[in-house]
Amino acid sequence: MTDDLSFDDPADAGAAEPQAAPLLVLDRVTRAYVQGETRIEVLAGASATIESGEVVALIAPSGAGKSTLLHVAGLLERPDGGEVTLDGTATSHLSDSARTALRRNQIGFVYQFHHLLPEFSALENVVLPQLIRGLGEREARRRAEELLTYLGLGARLKHRPAELSGGEQQRVAIARAVANAPRLLLADEPTGNLDPDTASHVFTTLTALARASGLSAIVATHNLDLAATLDRRLTLRDGGLVEA
């Protein structure tokens, strides 16, 4: 295990980075879905500020809008109104391609189901996003091995997803999500599909990795005990974000 799991992007070498700005600001975000005659205001002025390095739980009942919020915060969906500012960059008037580039470089996602590529090994699943980002293969493999070993999978590098347990699959998915050293990790019920002991282990591993890497995270979960271990808890009420 290493202390520093951050990623040395050669383009950043020598750049002095001001630390003051919050990593993510949601400012009066709105998002509605229209289905037939019905209009559902899922987000109705949701605001929150996530500081750099903060690991926050998002707790709310099913249907409250957790996934919608994570999709909007993660630049996968545009809000109807309001502003999402990521690391000082307001995103509402960016082009789709600029949003995609920002998302690729700055944001990692973990879902309830691992969505690993079944025909590739654990190692390859973590190497691939780095190659897509333009990293050389040797460095990508080194990084993938380091991350998987940190996550306790050093003896599983060559296993395919079907040869891994549910908890191991999720840990590979976590390694893949942080492979390109995002600033923000968004996890949508990452342990919702696991038995309680495994869920607890995967959750603890995920948050330890977030803290070791200094990244900010929003973790949607129904598990109040696990949520209690994070820096803050937010919930969705009437389409707004409030402290839980």
Closer to ligand ADP by CB, 60 or 126: give it. 60
Please give the Cα distance from 115 to 110 (Å, whole number).
9
242 binds ligand ADP (CB under 6 A): no
Closer to ligand ADP by CB, 77 or 139: give it. 77
**232: Cβ–Cβ under 8 A, 6 or more apart, which residues?**
54, 56, 57, 243
60 binds ligand ADP (CB under 6 A): yes
Nearest to 241 by CA among 31, 29, 34: 29
Closer to ligand ADP by CB, 73 or 122: give it. 73
**56: Cβ–Cβ under 8 A, 6 or more apart, which residues?**
50, 216, 217, 218, 219, 230, 231, 232, 233, 234
- Applying CB under 6 A, among 62, 93, 118, 243 the residue interacting with ligand ADP is 62
- Applying CB under 6 A, among 9, 49, 63, 225 the residue interacting with ligand ADP is 63
Strand pairing category for 38-50 and 55-58: unpaired
Q: How far is the CB of 149 from ligand ADP (least distance, A)?
A: 33
- Applying CB under 6 A, among 67, 91, 170, 213 the residue interacting with ligand ADP is 67
- Applying CB under 6 A, among 40, 90, 101, 224 the residue interacting with ligand ADP is 40
Closer to ligand ADP by CB, 142 or 222: give it. 222
66 binds ligand ADP (CB under 6 A): yes
Closer to ligand ADP by CB, 140 or 217: give it. 217
Order across the sheet with 240-243: list the strands: 107-110, 184-188, 216-220, 55-58, 232-237, 240-243
74 binds ligand ADP (CB under 6 A): no
Hey, which residues does 32 pair with through a beta bridge? 41
Residues at the contact surface with ligand ADP, assessed by CB under 6 A:
33, 35, 40, 42, 60, 62-68
